[in-house]
Amino acid sequence: MRVLLIGPPGAGKGTQAARIAAHFDLAQIATGDLLRGEIAADTQLGRTAKGYVDRGDLVPDELVITLTKARVVKANREGGYILDGYPRTLAQAEAAHRWATARGVSFDLALLFEIGTDELLARLAGRARQEGRSDDTEQTIRHRLEVFQSQTYPLIDYYRQRGILVRTEAVGPVDAITERICAVLHWHKARALAAGADRPEWTFDPADE
């Protein structure tokens, strides 16, 4: 199963991604975590990305695409993935679309986390106190919400037009949200199986190694 999560910062994508990945035995690929790993390891990519992350801006598409592609291709080969934080721009979505179509596959579901701004701001302020993330200051949080509206929001229409957008209410107890999402994914899996879609879809391509 190939699932991507779309939602503003603070919507709980990371928490739910970990739970869903464990439940369905999928790889969890979180671009924010990958970028923070590169920054902590002080790699060249990390040094370039750091300023963007700290300001709450999106890291340039080419960097994120480079960072993500090999992981997505590998996870695709190994049974599927939950993408948390990718794609966040139309250019990234197009890149992902190209990787997938080159392998005769496509995303199964784009799961949209719906949540109001007041709830988000409250959650992010709480996370800032607990985790001390450098991009969780109030000013940066507001900026990240604006970036979501301007750059990521168009993906909703993009995936709606492809017929794979599913909305989920991201408010309420964490367990209840997980249950709702798992139900959606089980339903999708059953439907795909009934349609005979669960055949091995990917052939090994040495160019990916």
Chain contacts with ligand ADP (rule: CB under 6 A): 9-10, 31-32, 35, 52-53, 56-59, 64, 85-86, 88, 92, 135, 144
Residues in contact with 110: Cβ distance below 8 Å, sequence separation at least 6, in sequence order: 3, 4, 5, 6, 155, 159, 162, 164, 165, 166
50 is catalytic: no
Q: Specify the DSSP class assigned to residue 89.
A: S
Q: Which is nearer to ligand ADP, 19 or 88 (CB)?
A: 88
Residue 13 annotated to the active site: yes
To the nearest whole angstrom, how small is the minimum distance from the Cβ of residue 97 to ligand ADP?
15
Shortest gap between Cβ of 179 and ligand ADP (angstroms)? 22
Q: Which residues contact 10 (CB under 8 A, 6 or more apart)?
A: 115, 120, 121, 123, 124, 127, 141
C-alpha pair distances (Å), 146 with each of 4, 8, 30, 106, 200 = 21, 9, 21, 29, 41
Supply φ then ψ for residue 114, to 5 degrees. -100, 130
Residue 142 falls in the annotated catalytic set: no
Name the residue with the smallest CB distance to ligand ADP.
Answer: 32
Closer to ligand ADP by CB, 165 or 188: give it: 165
Shortest distance, position 142 Cβ to ligand ADP, whole Å: 12
Dist CA 31 CA 19 (whole Å): 17
Angle at 9 between CA 30 and CA 81, to 5 degrees: 25
Catalytic residue among 74, 123, 127, 160: 127
The first and second tokens of residue 51, run together, are 């300023």
Catalytic residue among 2, 19, 36, 88: 88
Active-site residue 133, yes or no? yes
Phi, psi of 111 (to 5 degrees): -100, 115
Minimum separation from the CB atom of position 15 to ligand ADP (A): 11
Q: Specify whether 144 is catalytic.
A: yes
Catalytically annotated residue among 13, 19, 36, 50: 13
Residue closer to ligand ADP (CB basis): 83 or 109: 83
Positions annotated as catalytic residues are 13, 88, 127, 133, 144
